[in-house]
Structure 1
Amino acid sequence: MGFALGLTGHDRQWAEDVVQETLIKAWRNADKLDRRPAMLRAWLFTVARRTVIDGWRSRSARPQELAEIESDAIVLPDESDKTVAAMIIYAALQGLSPEQREAVQRTYLEDRTVNEVAATLGVPPGTVKSRIHHAVRALRKALR
């Protein structure tokens, strides 16, 4: 088995097949084999090596077979949950006042600071914080 593993690049399944094929050939030719241990060992190693060579040749001569995939086994990512979540969030955002929606959009979606949003809108930072606070409370309530 160790010899076959070395020949097959440590492919255990293929090595087991090689050993099995070698032993079957030894069984079929038992009456013709030289029973001296050194000769029997050399014969077994030769048969194993030739079996691996035949395997390499047959693999390179024809393309690798692929298992047929059942159509039920094919799984496509389902984006419907994301779509539904986006629709729910969009509807919840529509329930906010325009000022609250704009404050949430600029701070959370555009990743701006409260001071940047306040300067853009021309209102004090406290007003932006208040709009965001009330908007988050309204969104939590709407999303329950």
Structure 2
Amino acid sequence: MTQSARHLTEVLERESADLLRYFRRRVALEDAADLLAETGMTAWRRADDLPSDSEGARRWLFTVARNTFLNYQRGQQRRLALASRVRAVLTRADHVSPSADDGIEVRDAISRLPPELAELVRLIHWDGFTIAEAAEIIGMSDTTARTRYQRARAELRATLSATINTKSSI
């Protein structure tokens, strides 16, 4: 172990409890533990910058901790801003959500397909990807995807026709 690694180990052992209290006063316990770990990782990456004197090392470590906390706060603010934007979009939505049983026959028919075909159909029709894009996501060639997509459509058509015929005879 190098001299700077030994010195950092000593400083971290001596200051960890105080650093945890520092974080605990600002965030929940589980976040405080994560922030302490992040501080330790950052300190290890920058171990050569650690001052040799005890008081300077403590201040340096708390500076690293404060910067870690500020990064955490910025991340929290970004997440809150994103959540607000999503809420605003959902609030402005022009359409009403379909009822829970809307399209149940289609969902049921898709779920009866082999998993890879079902995923291909979902990617194309529910997620808006082209056949080529869906093929890339799944990890197959465009040609294979086109062939499988045609097979999936035929199976869905047959299943849905059977469902409609069964309902109309009831």
TM-score, scaled relative to structure 2: 0.35
TM-score, scaled relative to structure 1: 0.40
Q: Which structure's residues are more often helix, by fraction?
A: 2
